[in-house]
Amino acid sequence: MNKLTPEELTRYSRHLVLKDFGKENQEKLKKSRVLMVGAGGLGCPALLYLVAAGIGKIGIIDFDDVQESNLQRQVLFNTHDVGENKALAAKKHLAKLNPFVTIFPYAEKLTSKNALKLFADYEIVLDGSDNFPTRYLVNDACVLTGKALIYGSILQYEGQLSVLNVRSTDGSHSQNYRDLFPESPQPHEVPNCEQAGVLGVLPGTVGSLMANEAIKLITGIGDPLINKLLIFDSLTLQTLTVSIPNRNSRANIKELIDYDDFCGLNDQKDKSLSMKEITVQELKSLLDTNADFQLIDVREVHEFEQANIGGEHIPMAEVPHQIERIETTKQVVMHCRSGGRSGNIIQWLEKNHGFNNLYNLKGGILAWAKEIDSSLDVS
């Protein structure tokens, strides 16, 4: 039943008196089904406004747990949620916001095996993911299931937003993510938010705009960002809107593929298998015996200042400009928070500067805090 109850008429009264909106469009929201991929920086504000607006059914896909470093921007969560699955924690809070919305959490990783099934029962998909394999997977699943896709992304001070794969009255579809980005960048070419950072309020802005576009699609009001990409600069508050070309990419999307292969991640994994590693126990032995080696910490300044294990500090972005500081005639151990960034920079150094004496600390400083020094604060 999609008729508004007396309680809903009161709750949504500001929508109902809005010119060109009214009761009919509010009932469209109540009837609608929206799926959010990722309950992170973008997902949190988008979900808050979608639930508040009265979307009838909302699905949330996220297999990750809440971390303390998320709380700077993922405003749906609080300190007590740390360690809890994001999809489940999101439902817990959102249910208190609006009891008239049905929320389905999926505490699982989105894959090519489950995507089509998960997407089947929803009309619109919002992509708040933070990696390219998931973005291409979401896009292709939307194309194959005929779902409209609202894409958002954030990094440092810039956000992007677009409305993709919308079906028109003649049965054709608007451009999709592969028309915007035909080829995935290589894994080392684009840093993620952990590596490059993100201004805390930026996902709030872009996530809210994603919810805005969803409401426009459902109700038919306004002019959605179809075939357009909005670029938002939070430092200047300037926006740039560019047209997305039609590359006829839709015809080539016939099935879901191995997206790690497409984005070069499996190739990166193969390379990492040959990369030399050292465990935290082996590192401790080197330190205890005063072995002649070099320890380099490639984390950011704030991470190093919060907690470190005595290594030389060369942030990852500075390594290419400080090659001369890295020893070539003895063992060099490099580490970051969990091993990803240091592994990437080791591969870059080996490929571009011929180093053969570099070792990655397996598990990074997190493993050191867990297995060697539990007093170390690396939260």
In this structure, the strands spanning 148-155 and 158-164 are antiparallel
How is residue 79 annotated by DSSP? G
What's the rounded Cα separation, in Å, for the pair 51 and 29? 10
Given strand 294-297, what is the order of strands in its sheet?
277-278, 358-361, 332-335, 294-297, 312-313
The CB-side HSE value for 238 (13 A sphere, CA atoms) comes to: 3
Q: Which two tokens stand for residue 72?
A: 């700077």
Q: Which two tokens stand for residue 209?
A: 């705009």
What's the rounded Cα separation, in Å, for the pair 205 and 85? 24
What's the rounded Cα separation, in Å, for the pair 133 and 118? 17
The question of whether 142 is a catalytic residue gets the answer: no
Residue 150 forms beta bridges with which residues?
126, 163
What's the rounded Cα separation, in Å, for the pair 159 and 301? 24
Query: Which one of 44, 142, 263, 336 is the catalytic residue?
Result: 336
Query: CA dihedral defined by 107, 113, 117, 120, rounded to 10 degrees?
Result: 100
Query: Which one of 44, 142, 193, 263 is the catalytic residue?
Result: 193
In terms of phi and psi (left: phi > 0; alpha: psi -120 to 50; beta: otherwise), the region of 38 is left
The question of whether 193 is a catalytic residue gets the answer: yes
Query: How many other CB atoms are found less than 10 A from the CB of residue 286?
Result: 16
Q: Which residues are catalytic?
A: 193, 336
